[in-house]
Amino acid sequence: MVSLVFLLYETPDTALQRLIVYQRLSNDEARHSVNLLYDWALHAQSRQTWKYEFLEALTICRLYNIIRKLGFDVSQIRKHYLPDNLNVSIYTDPMKKVLYKLCESLNSEIFSRLQKTLISYNYNVSEYRTCELVLLELISKRFIKLGYYDKDKKSYTNTYDIEELAKIIEKFSTVSILASVLREIQEQINSPNLKNKPQNFTSIETYNIPGPSKIKEDKYQEGFDEIFELMNQCHNDENEPGANFKSDTMLLKDAYVIKNRKRIGVCCIINQDKFYPSKQSLQNNEHIDLEDRLGSRLDLMALERTMTSLNFKVKSKSNLNHEEVFQFIKDVLKYHVTAEDSVFMLCILSHGVRDHVYAADSVRVKIDDIQNLLDSEHAHHLRGIPKVLILQACQVETESEVKNKIVADSPPLNDFYLKKSHFLVYWATAPEYEAFRIEDKGSIFIQCICALIKKRAKYEHLIDIFTKVTYNVTALCTKLHKPQVPLSKSTLTKKLYLSIPE
């Protein structure tokens, strides 16, 4: 019903209002009382072609059972209206036909990303449950500009403009080709030489557009079980740590003070594992299509458990846009950091490049700006106490790596220089190297950090622990023929313990 109204109604505002009422009706009996097609037919009967318009819409929507009940031969109807050819239509506006195909091709995951993207354009369409309503909203607000197709004269009035939508759609890999189709039809319709509808363009089969499907995480290949055994080496060092680090206990005068063993500090975690394009990222010409970071939630859980066990207050959020990233950090600093805290830790799990991490809206966030925030008036409680930044900056590089279930995380491509005191920044990888994440186990870097902090925090200061992490990650990735070398930068002035040494 929704799709037919979208294709048939000529006035988008009317279609949207009727469908909003239709969507809000909670039961089928109430919905049947709103006869949207009957209302359309009463208005359309003034045209001799109205029955054929309806039949073409039924064919585009593949409602073949209804077509049979009307007494038509489905195969003949399909040959006449060519529902799979996006550039051929007889009575339906060809732009609407492509937009309908877009609705048909979006799965729930991509539809959710589209809604979030549109919020960045100040179009809050989160209440709509179908893509057709979202598009009608955009058409009504002139974000998508459609002309009018005179069905009797078979010609167009006004200029079509779908460029802003096309810029968004091309960022979603599964339907990106539809952006090209939209532009192609727009060019044809807007051509001054066009008197009739565009016909005989490329068939949809050429584009190989997938239909909606549930996103499923593949089962991990058994051949990678050996990798998990190698990761377990992080838990099993040859020597007991207690025998080797007693000297540090005697040197607490060279360490940062731990004010309260029952509350060491605050650990703030930002987990970005789902991404969508936004107005700002498109304006910044961010051409990268950021894949979902499968496995990142396992890193989040590991960090939460590890830091909680060390008496840190843990605050975490997932999938924040670039403004929300800074607001979340400010809120943690304002409402959760106190003068009694001895350490502040910030962990960011995301895609990243060149001293930046990506927010969920695909906008780059500069790490230096985050560091400046932690050294500003918003963070007055952090003055003079150590601040630790752990950055798992991830970016899938090639399709083959995704299929192998080990995905590459791009590094900062130029050097990172610390300008503030009492900072320790630890990147998952050094410049010109990749960092790797195993999709159903988590990232090698974060998992090794958690394993070694759990084992060594009561005996060893953090830089020594990070040195061991670097060794383990480098050795493990060398065995996997996936070179990765973590990088730490420090302006700490003393040794930093996450627990009072035993």
247-260: per-residue pLDDT in tens? 444 446 689 999 99
**Which DSSP letter does residue 482 get?**
-
Do β-strands 442-443 and 435-438 pair in parallel, antiparallel, or remain unpaired?
A: antiparallel
How far is residue 367 from each of residues 124, 161, 489, measured CA to CA in Å?
30, 38, 13
Tell me the average pLDDT across 423-444.
Answer: 84
Say if 195 falls within a structural domain.
Answer: no
Bridge partners for 10 per DSSP: none
The mean of the pLDDT values for the chain is 81
Tell me the average pLDDT across 47-76.
Answer: 91
Say if 406 falls within a structural domain.
Answer: no
- The two tokens of residue 207 are 């584009």
- The two tokens of residue 30 are 């109430």
Same domain, 162 and 227: no
Cα angle value 145/146/148 (rounded, 5°): 145
Per-residue pLDDT at 26: 59
- Does the pLDDT value for residue 27 go beyond 70? no
Residue 282's nearest CA partner among 391, 397, 166, 187 is 166
Same domain, 15 and 153: yes
How far is residue 345 from each of residues 317, 326, 348, 462, measured CA to CA in Å?
14, 15, 10, 12
State what percent of residues in the chain have pLDDT above 90: 52
Tell me the average pLDDT across 137-144.
Answer: 95
The alpha carbon dihedral of 148, 154, 159, 163 has a sign of positive
Per-residue pLDDT at 266: 97
Per-residue pLDDT at 393: 79
130: containing domain: 1-190
Domain termination site, one of 190, 213, 240: 190
Residue identified by tokens 């460029």 is 163
Residue 19's nearest CA partner among 108, 105, 134, 148 is 134
Q: Residue 424 is inside which H or E element, if any?
A: strand 423-427
Tell me the average pLDDT across 84-97.
Answer: 88
Say if 201 falls within a structural domain.
Answer: no
pLDDT tens digits, one per residue of 438-448: 888 889 999 99
C-beta separation of 434 from 395 below 8 A: no
pLDDT tens digits, one per residue of 164-222: 999 999 989 889 999 999 999 998 888 766 544 444 433 333 344 443 333 233 333 33
Categorize the per-residue pLDDT at 332 as very low, low, confident or very high, splitting at 50, 70 and 90: very high
Say if 245 falls within a structural domain.
Answer: no
Say if 289 falls within a structural domain.
Answer: yes
Q: In this structure, what are the phi and psi dihedrals at residue 127, rounded to the nearest 5 degrees?
A: -80, -15
Same domain, 297 and 340: yes
pLDDT tens digits, one per residue of 110-124: 999 999 999 999 999
Tell me the average pLDDT across 17-29.
Answer: 78
Same domain, 292 and 438: yes
- Crossing angle for the helix pair 108-119 and 131-140, to the nearest 10 degrees: 20
Q: What residues contact residue 323 under an 8 Å CB cut-off, 6+ apart?
A: none
Higher local confidence (pLDDT), 500 or 102: 102
- The two tokens of residue 137 are 């909203």
Same domain, 177 and 227: no
What whole-number distance in Å separates Cα of residue 480 and Cα of residue 491?
A: 33
Q: How buried is residue 329: exposed, middle or buried, by Cβ count under 10 Å (0-12/13-18/19+)? A: buried
What whole-number distance in Å separates Cα of residue 305 and Cα of residue 356?
A: 26
Tell me the average pLDDT across 359-387.
Answer: 92
Find the CATH number of the domain harbouring 345. 3.40.50.1460
- The two tokens of residue 223 are 């051949």
Domain termination site, one of 190, 208, 243: 190
Tell me the average pLDDT across 54-64.
Answer: 94
What whole-number distance in Å separates Cα of residue 435 and Cα of residue 394?
A: 7
- Does the pLDDT value for residue 392 go beyond 50? yes
- Does the pLDDT value for residue 40 go beyond 70? yes
**Which DSSP letter does residue 270 get?**
E
Same domain, 225 and 171: no
Q: Is the pTM of this model over 0.85?
A: no
Say if 426 falls within a structural domain.
Answer: yes
Same domain, 141 and 227: no
Coil, helix or strand at residue 307: helix
Same domain, 368 and 463: yes
C-beta separation of 147 from 159 below 8 A: yes
Same domain, 16 and 121: yes
C-beta separation of 101 from 178 below 8 A: yes
Categorize the per-residue pLDDT at 87 as very low, low, confident or very high, splitting at 50, 70 and 90: confident
Same domain, 312 and 184: no
C-beta separation of 31 from 25 below 8 A: yes
Same domain, 323 and 364: yes
- Does the pLDDT value for residue 412 go beyond 70? no
Cα angle value 30/33/34 (rounded, 5°): 105
Give the long-range contacts of residues 281-285, CB within 8 A, separation 24 or more.
Answer: 281/361, 281/362, 281/363, 282/167, 282/168, 282/171, 284/363, 284/364
Higher local confidence (pLDDT), 18 or 223: 18
Q: In this structure, what are the phi and psi dihedrals at residue 186, rounded to the nearest 5 degrees?
A: -60, -45
Per-residue pLDDT at 58: 95
Q: Say which amino acid occupies 468.
A: K
Per-residue pLDDT at 403: 31
Report residue 229 CA to chain centroid gap: 31
Q: Say which amino acid occupies 471.
A: Y
- Does the pLDDT value for residue 229 go beyond 60? no
Say if 239 falls within a structural domain.
Answer: no
Per-residue pLDDT at 233: 57
Higher local confidence (pLDDT), 36 or 417: 36
Same domain, 173 and 287: no
- Does the pLDDT value for residue 285 go beyond 90? no
Report residue 111 CA to chain centroid gap: 12
State what percent of residues in the chain have pLDDT above 70: 77
The number of distinct structural domains making up the chain is 2
Say if 128 falls within a structural domain.
Answer: yes
